[in-house]
A and B are shown apart, each in its own frame.
Chain A
């Protein structure tokens, strides 16, 4: 199979990704300490860091949204309805069977369309449901300190904290899955991660060598 080196991720996308990754990991860690699962930095510091990072994550998410919208990179995440289901099934089949037999990826990757339908779905859910979920419950928990009467509207801590914790568990599960699946995407297991660092990855060259971008 022919491979070619392709610039998959713009610098900002990479920076954004890793910032977001560090923030989420730190949030998970401090969150663990706040719930007394681990002892790391001291409770007080953990609370402060967790609160600050929460706001930062929100801020960074908006910056990212802005970027994806203005740059058009948002298209990467929007699923096209055409043969989406078929491709998704193919992708699942690939993970369940094809991958073991060294089959090629069922969905062709290009710099313009680097995500497969499953990724699109998962990222859509993470960015549009889980992240807002965490942000909202987190903001509410934080806001109750200052505006206690909100308790009647959005529920008290006994209601909100378990929801926030559930979101955290989901995030943790996502990260495990996410990290693992990057090893399946490229030629070599670490290619996916390397690409997110350098921006470049070797992907299977298209069958016909006529794409403009490839020769520009």
Chain B
């Protein structure tokens, strides 16, 4: 229960409503326990010849008592269950607010599916505790106390006999519930195994077909499918027990009433009315007794889920504004400097960047080249603090980026990532993603700079076209140009492009670069590319190799150096010749 205790602060918020809920439970039970007493008197009165007026009165009173109970039963759900939805809302909100602030590192180490599981399954398990579990335990407790008292008053001995089987009911439901939960998780595991087989078969279909393994795959799948079937049946074996056991135990209590009660009536110790009341009371008690076992399981599962949620809440933000933040910084001018910067993703991983020293003057352009895995993306990620460097410091306008307010830093840097992510929203909303207010003129303007405007005109709903599965699927080049427009829209002082033209043909690229030239006047830009054509006009070009700056200079310098850059240059010329050959 240690973890569920953290929910206290949420409960406190709704204490009034919850208190009312408990009052309603009390009132509702008062109404429903009155019905059997009325029945008792009615049945007893039948033995003395009475007039039908009195019978009608009994009938109406029964309906009246039920109505009374029903009104409050309605109100119970309107308070306690509603509160559980309120708390669920609060909890999920807090969860999301926290998730959004976690560093990228967290999202790289945890799959989306995994995080989603916490956001859905775990919060749901906790919700079951907040609502049904709270309601049923309070209800059961109050009802048990009232009904037992009345039954005892009617006949102590019979009460004891009759109640004997009932705790067994709670116990059985608890035990079976636990077993079911356990077997259910086994089944889920097996199910994901089965899914993996299917997935592998389809992904590896070329291997399977070329080695003619269809038959053996069928056999393997059939075997696993059979195994899954058996696992399912092992759950069914337990699940099928529930109904019969419920029937058996509750039926047993009723038989005891009829049998022992019958003897007592014959002996004159009891009357028929009382026996009727007993049977109806049993009916009232059965569901709460089942609920007890059920509630215990909910609590256990909620506790485990809450622990996982609390673990996420305990994840540190790593990158956030601290007391070192200098709030007097409200804008960036654009001078960037790397001072002895080293970086590694993890303590036990090798260094990706090693002692980098570089100055990028305000308003200049820097191009970065190098083979894959040489640290280019890591390099630029340090500037908007997607990661913090492990050694040395990154300075902007002479201030360590760690002292610049995160909001100022990031809203002044426009960045297009290697694999840009677009949201399934309209084109214009995607482009104006970084803006506070939608400015249609601005959207058109930046789309034109990114040479994306002509594409948009071809879309069925122009700028209102939805991106993604529900609208139109962008080509790689369209994605890159759209996200370039998104980065330009915020009019950043620093623009960073991470291989952002890889899917754009060279002709279009040339046009975009031309447009960018006047956009970037007075702004600093950093561009990673594999293409010489993209980088050759940059003020400064660096070539990264194994985490270090291997070559630095402008295009002509680097060609003269006859190193990596010159080699890349030569090959790209050859490639161009080859593709242009007919």
Judge: A and B partners, yes or no.
no
Chain B contact residues, CB within 8 Å of chain A: none
